[in-house]
Amino acid sequence: MPASALPSCMTIAHPRQPGGPEMLEMSTRPVPSPAAGEVLIRVHAAGVNRADCMQREGNYPVPGGATDIIGLECAGEVVATGSGTSRYRVGDRVAALLVGGGYAQYVCTPEAQCLPVPGGLDWIQAAAWMETACTVWSNVSMRAGLQPSERLLVHGGTSGIGVTAIQLYAALGHTVYATAGSETKCRACVELGAAAAIHYREQDFVTEVRRLTGGEGVDVVLDMVGGDYLSRSLSVLRDDGRFVGIAASQGRQATVDLMELYRRRLTLTGSGLRRQPLPVKAGIVAQVERHVWPLVAQGRIKAVVDSVFPLAEAARAHAHMESSAHIGKIVLAVD
């Protein structure tokens, strides 16, 4: 699309003030122009993430210099390119990791944070991958260093992160266990490839993991719960095990027995993706393209889309996210 054909304004979903889902409303902003190294994407679909809800509430500060428009991932068509770009051309279909801006008709992002949409994926499916794939791979493989034959425990198995982690590491030959909050969600985890799923409202996951592993435990725990899950998760790690946290939905404070940490040589780590510098995020995206994207293209792992809402109904999408009734990704259709 020639620059002259681009509109001057675009529609966005934005909170009129911090608060609940009902604060999200439609408004307009100027269409951004790509800076050096960036591409401008016409957004067709955008993934919804827990962090989006936190930003809407005013609890997830925007990094300096970034757009305040919500949205950490999208899929769409490149409609303009900035100087210094070389990989993508106008008309290319891409999935993009964003620092913000997905809840809009157009968004700029560094070229290095885009990947080609695998053949056969529609816009909704393509929008469901980047944030979860980059988060899961960077934490479980790059930070925690999950090795062949090692076991993984995933808390929140039917979240967007959870369905990606279960599928990915089961496809790579690992034994994956998951926790979930209902029988229906536990069945979904097993159908996605988990060796077993633990109904945490009715079962103690510590007892169950020990039983399932013959008392040995797991090598890596991926956690988004926080609170007392930290100490309990450490207790199901094997010696030299690694705990990697990405969120703390049930509490930011935890008590840890440091002597257990030292005695069993456990690693406690975690990360957030949004504030990492561009070279780091570019490296993560490159690894995702190398290790995860082929599995997506081959259909060995698939986008698990719970529901799709029009951009104008972003408030309903957030309310659904906060209900925790979903299994997999919630996606906004921006067209």
Query: pLDDT averaged over consecutive 10-residue blocks of the chain (335 residues)?
Result: 78 97 98 98 97 96 94 98 97 98 98 96 97 98 97 97 98 98 97 98 96 97 89 94 88 85 94 93 98 97 97 98 96 94
Report in angstroms the alpha-carbon separations of 303 from 86, 123, 124, 270, 306.
Answer: 28, 11, 9, 25, 9
* Nearest-10 crossing angle of helices 183-192, 160-171: 30
Question: CATH number of the domain at 133-270, out of 3.40.630.30, 3.40.50.720, 3.30.70.140, 3.30.230.10?
Answer: 3.40.50.720
CB 178 within 8 A of CB 157: yes
Predicted confidence at residue 247, as pLDDT, reads 85
Predicted confidence at residue 3, as pLDDT, reads 56
Distance CA 285, CA 15 (A): 29
Residue ranges of domains in the chain: 3-129+303-333, 133-270
| pTM for this model (two decimals) | 0.94
The closest alpha carbon to 143, from 59, 280, 242, 23, belongs to 242
Predicted confidence at residue 251, as pLDDT, reads 76
Predicted confidence at residue 7, as pLDDT, reads 95
Q: Which residues contact 258 (CB under 8 A, 6 or more apart)?
A: none
Predicted confidence at residue 80, as pLDDT, reads 98
CB 136 within 8 A of CB 204: no
Predicted confidence at residue 161, as pLDDT, reads 96
Q: Which CATH class is domain 3-129+303-333?
A: alpha beta
Residue 297, both tokens: 């293209």
Strand bridging mode 151-154 / 175-180: parallel
